[in-house]
Chain A
């Protein structure tokens, strides 16, 4: 009998662990831990753990802290945060430091959770392969990389904000600023853009749909949300639908924005050289039939943004 894929559950509530274990034990080898610290021990003991489901509020290490450590120890392990309530700080921490794959609220839908976990395993496999390939070619590829100026697109309906950002980053990057989603799509159709830094406060546009269209068409483009909106629902959508790279809440100090932008550019570069891959894209490739993903894809495919973007690109040619 083939080895079962290994899954780790971390929650301080034993009945949750029990219940989830019963849900998953037929398909996976399930490990459980009642704290973040114990979870890290399990990861170290069982390097084949590919997916982790972790509670946010626990004594000792919090969920996002645990996941951040796990990411460091085992980058290809897919991290899912399962939490009792949507505290914006927890959500932002989970994306910005834990880079979670999904943010799932308790009480969960068991079927959905199973699908997400299954998708997680498939993506993890591919990530592992990318990782292996990357390790092999890392040295020569990066050395030979042309050190061109990366394009960064700033999107904000307030023109003054855009102008400030462009001025701030124009020496380091090929910085372009726009104040509408249409203009943004037009800019994107003209040339490859490494990072899109976007506000989510649009008068008449769904920011997540808009950014999703971009991410769908340009797998190597990293999306970064920079906004004054402290919106938990939006943040959860940004994680679950968009796999947004970071969600920064204004006011943020310049150094932090610059560091984040640098990290995003590096990530985009890595994707360009296939040293890293977007989980969203892998998800689409590995599980075209999984409803979680296919619903999302149908949504994106029918998105007006995507249609606009494609029309513009065709016009460019």
Chain B
């Protein structure tokens, strides 16, 4: 209650005080301006030539000019007495030394000539030939405000200063009194208001507040809170009703609390249990994640291995095929060579016998001649019977053929791999396909006839060995798709941008290679999967399912496309389309 009263008082007084402060400042400003105006007016009224004639030390107060100026100041003081000017409020100063002025004209002439310490406002007025004023300042005589105006001669030289002083006690006292009365009224109002509210509180507010506090406290959880109101009026019964309700609620709360506690304990134990389970699950999950990471790493490693395996598998097939292709001619060449040395001996033996016969004939050795003739003829007969000469010629031919076949194979092998090339190179695609066919010949020869429909001088910028790998894969697939005996058709064509007919070499924007077979075809449901890694319809161990996937990547590297058309029972056609020029990056 006291606090309320205090707040109320402050609320009333604060604006009053603020207002007072405001008024004080405004009044002061107003005062300063009025003083300034007055000082200016007086300074203008003083004749500069009269003022110039005054000697300052000590001033001759009997001088006519002094009297004239003294009268002027006295009149001015009188005229402005309403402002509160007194006789000692208006002076004229003359400059004396660097920081000293002397009273030149004033009401009490006995002080004329006494020095006065120069204030900054006076110096300002003097130097700037303009008026100035001070703020409020205090000395032992009271609180003051002063304004200064320069006395100027016709050339604008400052001859002296007029000071108009104002002891502002008068206004301030007035204001302070006003404030005091406001405070007094306010305090009276506050005190009487407070007294009234005390009275009211004692009668009504206090029990109601007690009940309200109790309700609030009760609602905030103070279940033991009761109201002690002994009166028998409405407030008393309200208090009783509250107490009854509070008791009821407390009891209910106690029961609820017990149940709640029990439930809470149950919940906590359940939570603990599921926490344990969760922790376990988390551990399991972590283990699973570890395992997953591990198997992920394994899968990556395996994938790498599989890509390698596909390479090795293709390579293995290729090498096996080539081994067979080389070993066959090598077989008969080697055989021929060992037979040729046998035949050589037999031929040499015949030659020797003939030589002996010739010697016998020359020597005329009759006894030996008959035997030598028989020997030579017998040897010749044997040679003929064994077809030694014919066979020798035949085997020499075989050997030449065999060596030529091996040579061709090795040349194609070299062309096929072209390991020395690591950059795009303008290459003859037809040659690449031909090399591939030689390499794959062993796999194809029993399965298919190859029909070549080549565009002559068919060139594109490519990695030749990589393209050959694609051709090998496609040709081998084609051969495998043929069940009995079929045909593999290989077409090479230039293609231009759409709507442009490829006539000039510059129009030949794309090289298109088609490899078609009339084999069993690819089932429609498999058709969109055949370029997927690991997709294979071959039995386990016979295909890694990576061949076409790798081919796809190779053609992608050439900024080209590989596509497929297939009809079950009729055959499959793969189209490889690559730009003839690889744009330089």
* A contact set with B: CB distance below 8 Å: 13, 15-16, 18-20, 22-23, 26, 57-60, 82, 84-85, 87, 105-111
Q: Is the CB of B335 within 8 A of A85?
A: no
Taking a contact as CB atoms closer than 8 A, the residue among A18, A84, A106, A109 that contacts B398 in the complex is A18
Of B386, B395, B442, B445, which contacts A19 at CB under 8 A? B395
The smallest beta-carbon distance between A210 and chain B, in angstroms, is 29
B446 within 8 A of A: yes
**Could you say which residues of chain A place their CB within 8 Å of the CB of B402?**
15
In the complex, the answer to whether B334 meets A108 with C-beta atoms within 8 Å is yes
Indicate if B331 sits at the interface (CB-CB under 8 A): yes
B147-165 vs A, CB cutoff 8 Å, 1 = contact: the mask equals 0000000000000000000
Task: Give the CA-CA distance A48 to B179 in the complex, in Å.
Answer: 154
A-B contact pairs, 6 of them (CB 8 A): A19-B339, A84-B323, A84-B325, A106-B327, A106-B331, A107-B327
Q: Would A108 and B335 count as touching, CB distance under 8 A?
A: yes
Q: Which residues of B contact A110 (CB under 8 A)?
A: 334-335, 338-339
B320 touches A87 (CB 8 A): yes
* Complex partner residue of B395 from A13, A22, A84, A105, CB under 8 angstroms: A22
Cβ distance A108 to chain B, nearest Cβ, rounded Å? 6
Nearest A residue to B446 by beta-carbon distance? Answer: A59
CB-defined contacts of B386 to chain A, threshold 8 Å: 26
* Residue numbers in A under 8 Å from B320 (CB-CB): 85, 87
Q: Per-position contact with A for B326-341: 1 when CB-CB < 8 Å, else 0?
A: 0111111111101100
Contact B334 A22, beta carbon cutoff 8 Å: no
Is the CB–CB distance between B394 and A107 below 8 Å? no
- Known A15-B398, A22-B395: A107·B338 in contact at CB below 8 Å: no
Number of A-B contacts (CB under 8 A): 70
Report which B residues bind A (CB closer than 8 A).
320, 323-325, 327-336, 338-339, 386, 391, 394-395, 398, 401-402, 442, 445-446
Q: Could you tell me the distance in whole angstroms from the C-beta of A123 to the nearest C-beta in chain B?
A: 23
Determine if A111 and B338 form an interchain contact, defined as CB atoms under 8 angstroms apart. Answer: yes
Q: A26-B386, A85-B324, A110-B338 are in contact. Are A16 and B331 (CB under 8 A)?
A: yes
Q: Which one of B324, B333, B335 has the greatest number of beta carbons of chain A within 10 Å?
A: B335
Closest-CB distance, B280 to chain A (whole angstroms): 35
- A107 and B324 within 8 A (CB): no
> What separation, in Å, do the CA atoms of A13 and B394 have in the docked complex?
15
On whether the beta carbons of B328 and A16 are closer than 8 Å, the reply is yes
B336 touches A19 (CB 8 A): yes
Kindly list the 6 A-B residue pairs having the minimum CB-CB distance in the complex, ordered from nearest.
A84-B324, A19-B332, A59-B446, A106-B331, A106-B327, A107-B331
Cα of A273 to Cα of B172 in the assembled complex, Å = 154
Would you call A13 and B327 a contact (CB within 8 A)?
A: no
- Do A57 and B333 touch across chains, with their CB atoms under 8 A apart? no
Q: How far is the CB of B27 from chain A (nearest CB, A)?
A: 118
Among B332, B338, B445, contact of A15 (Cβ-Cβ < 8 Å): B332
CB distance from A267 to the nearest CB of B (A): 30
A19 engages B327 (CB within 8 Å) = no
B436 vs chain A, min Cβ distance (A): 19
> How far, in angstroms, from A82 to B327 measured CA to CA in the complex?
11
Nearest-Cβ distance from residue B562 to partner chain A, whole angstroms: 30
Q: Let me know if A16 and B332 touch, CB within 8 A.
A: yes
Further pairs besides A15-B332, A84-B325: 12, Cβ < 8 Å: A18-B398, A19-B335, A19-B395, A22-B336, A22-B394, A57-B324, A57-B442, A106-B324, A106-B328, A107-B330, A107-B335, A108-B331
Contact of B327 among A59, A60, A105, A111 (CB under 8 A): A105
Interchain nearest-CB distance for A209 vs B (Å): 28
Complex partner residue of A23 from B329, B335, B446, CB under 8 angstroms: B335
Residue in chain B with minimal CB distance to A108: B331
Q: Which residues of chain B are within 8 angstroms of A23 by Cβ–Cβ distance?
A: 335, 339
Distance A19 CA – B329 CA, assembled complex (angstroms): 10
With A and B bound together, what is the CA distance between A19 and B334 in angstroms? 10
**Residues B323 and A85 in contact, CB atoms below 8 Å apart:** yes
Q: How distant is the Cα of A82 from the Cα of B331 in the complex, in angstroms?
A: 10
Smallest CB gap from B391: residue in A:
A22
In the complex, what residues of A have CB within 8 A of residue B334's CB? 107-110
Cβ–Cβ contact B331 & A19, under 8 A:
yes
User: Which residues of B are found within 8 Å of A108, using beta-carbon distances?
Assistant: 331, 334-335
B-side contacts of A85, CB under 8 Å:
320, 323-324, 327
**A111 CA to B391 CA in the complex, in Å?**
18
B327 engages A22 (CB within 8 Å): no
Interface centre among A15, A82, A85, by most chain B C-beta atoms within 10 angstroms, is A15
The chain A residue sitting closest to B321, CB to CB, is A85
A22 to B395 CA separation, bound complex (whole angstroms): 9
B183 → chain A closest CB, angstroms:
112
Residues of B with C-beta under 8 A to A84: 323-325, 327-328, 331
CA separation between A78 and B327, bound complex, in Å? Answer: 24
Chain A hits for B394, CB < 8 A: 18, 22
Task: Give the one of B325, B331, B446 with max A CB within 10 A.
Answer: B331
Instruction: Give Cα A26 to B386, complex, Å.
Output: 7
Measured between alpha carbons, how far is A18 from B331 in the docked complex, in Å? Answer: 12
Residues of chain A within 8 A (CB-CB) of B323 are 84-85
Known: A19-B395, A22-B339, A22-B394. A106 touches B446 (CB 8 A): no
In the assembled complex, the CB of B320 is this many whole angstroms from the nearest CB of chain A, namely 5
Knowing A19-B395, A87-B320 are in contact, say whether A13-B338 is a contact too (CB < 8 A). no
A111 CB contacts on chain B under 8 angstroms: 338
Nearest chain B residue, comparing its CB with the CB of A16? B332
What is the bound-complex CA distance between A253 and B371, given in angstroms?
74
A148 to chain B minimum Cβ distance, whole angstroms, is 42
Q: Chain A residues with Cβ under 8 A from B333's Cβ?
A: 107
Shortest A66–chain B CB gap in Å is: 14
CB distance from A229 to the nearest CB of B (A): 15
Q: How far is the CB of A24 from chain B (nearest CB, A)?
A: 10
Tell me the complex Cα distance, A59–B448, Å: 11
Residues of B within 8 A of A16 (CB): 328, 331-332
Contacts of A105 in B (CB 8 A): 327
Complex-state Cα separation, A271 to B338, whole angstroms: 40
CA distance A57 to B338 in the complex (A): 25
When distances are taken between beta carbons in the complex, the residues of chain A under 8 Å from B336 are 19, 22
A15: B residues at CB distance < 8 A:
329, 332, 398, 401-402
Instruction: Assess the B335–A13 pair: CB atoms within 8 A.
Output: no
Chain A residues in 8 Å Cβ range of B327: 84-85, 105-107
Which residue of chain B lies nearest to A84 when distances are taken between CB atoms in the complex? B324
Residue of A nearest to B337 (CB): A110
The minimal Cβ–Cβ distance linking A20 to chain B, given in whole angstroms, is 7
Please indicate the chain A residues that have their CB under 8 angstroms from the CB of B445 in the complex.
Answer: 59
- Rounded to whole angstroms, the CA-CA distance of A19 and B398 in the bound complex is 8
**Hey, which chain A residues are within 8 Å of B442, CB to CB?**
57
Point out the residues of chain A lying under 8 angstroms from B331, CB to CB: 16, 19, 82, 84, 106-108
Residues of A near B391 (CB, < 8 A) are: 22
Which chain A residues lie closer than 8 Å to B446 at the CB level? 57-60
- In the complex, the chain A residue whose C-beta lies closest to that of B320 is A85
Question: How far apart are the CA atoms of A106 and B335 in the complex, in Å?
Answer: 10
Cα distance A235–B330 in the bound complex, in angstroms: 24
Report the separation of the CA atoms of residues A23 and B333 in the bound assembly, to the nearest whole angstrom: 12
Chain B residues in 8 Å Cβ range of A106: 324, 327-328, 330-331
Residues on the A chain within 8 Å of B324, using CB: 57, 84-85, 106
**How many Å from the CB of B559 to the closest CB on chain A?**
38
- Given A58-B446, A110-B338, A13 and B328 contact (CB-CB distance below 8 Å): yes
Q: Are A18 and B338 in contact (CB under 8 A)?
A: no
The complex places the Cα of A107 from the Cα of B333 at a distance, in Å, of 9
Distance between A237 CB and nearest chain B CB, rounded to angstroms: 19
CB of A162 to closest CB in B, whole Å: 27
Q: Tell me which of A22, A23, A105 has the highest count of chain B C-beta atoms within 10 A of its own C-beta.
A: A22
Bound state CA distance, A152 and B21, in angstroms? Answer: 128
A87: B residues at CB distance < 8 A = 320
Inter-chain contacts of B395 with A (CB < 8 A)? 19, 22
